[in-house]
Amino acid sequence: MKSPAPSKTKKLIKEALGNGALRSAVFKATESSALSRQKIIDQIPYWEDLRDKAHLIKKDVIENLSKYLTQFERNCELNGIAVHWASDSAEAQKIILDIAKQNNVTKVVKSKSLTTEEIHLNDFLKANDIESLETDLGEYIVQLNDQIPSHLIIPAMHLSRKDIGELFAKKLGVEYTEDPAQLLLTARKILREKFLAAEMGITGVNFAFAANGSFCVVENEANAHNTLSLPPIHIAVMGLEKIIPDVSMLPYFLKLLPANATGQKSSTYVNFIGGPTGSAYGEGPEQIHIILLDNGRTKILKDPVLRESLYCIRCGACLNACPVYQQIGGHAYGWVYMGPIGSVLIPQFLGEKEGRLSPFLSSLCGACTTVCPTKINLPHHLLTLRSRIVDSGNSKFIERNAIKIWSKLGSNAKVYRLMSRIASFFQSKLFFNSPLRVPGYNKERQFPLIHSEGFRARFLKMNGDKKNG
């Protein structure tokens, strides 16, 4: 489950659908998230305006990215924050390792960051003999379970309390319990020690502010604050798109994000970081580094329409709203980004070949785009990507030819009707007028009967009757 495998999505889906516990856990969690989201939104009469506003802010940022990034860089440096640029995972990994080595770091605590999942940071640090521990409860659980998160916001959504109880008993040697409060207590105790002993804290970034060279991390558990305030070194990893022009624009996002992510009016903590040892008592890390990660984002930028996928603030609402995600959970998508936004990002990040199935894993119902806080037109992008995949020769040979033939024949009404008559003939002769068996469709669903007399024939008859009568 570690390396990207969106091309194996069919196999992963089969596994997921066969796992009843997973399905019911995911279904319940997504439903309750969607409900609590709605409750908050009902109290914000200007919700739709907020979405419009957030869309415009992100648009401005993405269309003027180099301006904002260089401004951010300059202001960070004035604040004493070291800025690093990384073109891909390998570069980001190397930057982090170098900082760790220079400072003899062996123990790292991390707070939830999808960007660091994207660069497989935990595995990399482990391979370099550096302990890297996730501290968000959900992330801690999936790390213990040797998995990656299955949801952008609720990493262990796919696990039941029973699964987690067994996992803790097995891996941590504690007594089995399935009481969430007890399980939390176990993790809290272990992690409290780790926070105090860690030599480096690694976090993601929710929003970075170009105009004053600072950034913020939003959370509920206080683990992110501990990660960025207790160890002497703080590294924050951010995708290039995480920037917004100014901190004063944050209130829009701080309404949208918590409502969509966790059904809260406000997240419990918003931490603003604007330089090392900021407090009166020299508290806080002595070094703060920020890594601006490309890793394919500038490639996405190339398409004037698809670049909208960079407006994503990773709120997870499109996952909760997605009836496909609700059935299969996050791991079935085969990558760190899942659900509708995952299906849009996968072929763009990993290429049309590896991602050839992802944009098709959607019924195009559009529920995602109605909840997206930055109004990303996800189904539209899925359609665009589908055609890209076809154009790049990554669709199936049979399908390609079937559709070509359909399109040719369908342009001619006579032939079109003839086809239907042939099908109806088959149905009557081979299936004795019972529904056709259509492989790939009718395992659980009866295929409808083809009428030997279609609409056209009936209409003409009806009209004839009228005229004659």
Partner 1 sequence: MDSRNSILKRIQEAGCYSADTSEHSSTIDLKISESIKSITPESKKDLWDQFKKEIELVAGAFYKTENINASAEIIIKFLTDSKISRVGISNEEICLKTALKIKEIESGLKIISPSQFDHAERKKEYAVTEAAVVNPSFAVADTGTLVFTLKGAGTSYPHFLCDNIFALIDESRIVPNQFELFRRLRREEMKEMFFVTGPSRTADIEKVLVLGAHGPRNLTVLMSENIAQ
Partner 2 sequence: MKVSLFIPCLTEHFFPSSGISMVKIFRHLGIDAEYIEDQTCCGQPAFNSGYRHEAVPLAEKFIRLFREKEYIIAPSGSCVSFVKNNYKELNISDELKPALKNISDRIFEFTEFLVDVMKIENLGGEFNHTVTYHDSCHLLRELNIHDQPRKLIRAIKNINFIEMNSADTCCGFGGTFSYKFENVSVAMTEQKCKNIEASGAEYCVGADSSCLMNIEGFLRKHKMNAKTIHIADLLAESLKL
Residue 365 contacts which entry, partner 1, partner 2, ligand SF4, none (Cβ below 5-8 A, type-dependent): partner 2
Choosing from 239, 274, 330, 373, the residue that interacts with ligand SF4 (CB under 6 A) is: 373
By CB under 8 A, the residues from 405 to 434 that bind partner 2 are 406-408, 410-413, 416, 420, 423-424
Q: Which is nearer to partner 1, 184 or 430 (CB)?
A: 184
By CB under 6 A, the residues from 118 to 157 that bind ligand SF4 are 152
Choosing from 135, 150, 223, 374, the residue that interacts with ligand SF4 (CB under 6 A) is: 374
Residue 366 contacts which entry, partner 1, ligand SF4, partner 2, none (Cβ below 5-8 A, type-dependent): partner 2
| Burial of 220: CB neighbours in 10 Å, binned 0-12, 13-18, 19+ | middle
Choosing from 399, 418, 426, 430, the residue that interacts with partner 2 (CB under 8 A) is: 399
User: Does the footprint of partner 2 cover residue 323 (CB under 8 A)?
Assistant: yes
Among the candidate windows 130-138, 140-148, 204-212, 391-399, which touches partner 2 by CB under 8 A?
Answer: 391-399
Residue 314 contacts which entry, partner 1, partner 2, ligand SF4, none (Cβ below 5-8 A, type-dependent): ligand SF4
User: Does the footprint of partner 2 cover residue 360 (CB under 8 A)?
Assistant: yes
Q: How far is the CB of 377 from partner 2 (least distance, A)?
A: 11
User: Does the footprint of partner 2 cover residue 17 (CB under 8 A)?
Assistant: yes
Residue 454 contacts which entry, partner 2, partner 1, ligand SF4, none (Cβ below 5-8 A, type-dependent): partner 2
Q: x/- contact string, 317-336, with ligand SF4 (CB under 6 A)?
A: xx------------------
Q: How far is the CB of 255 from partner 2 (least distance, A)?
A: 23
Q: How far is the CB of 409 from partner 1 (least distance, A)?
A: 40
Q: How far is the CB of 429 from partner 2 (least distance, A)?
A: 17
Residues in contact with ligand SF4, counted by CB under 6 A, come to a total of 14
Among the candidate windows 45-53, 57-65, 110-118, 371-379, which touches ligand SF4 by CB under 6 A?
Answer: 371-379
Q: Which is nearer to partner 2, 110 or 356 (CB)?
A: 356
Q: Which is nearer to partner 1, 266 or 463 (CB)?
A: 266
Footprint of ligand SF4 (CB under 6 A): 152, 312-318, 341, 371-374, 376
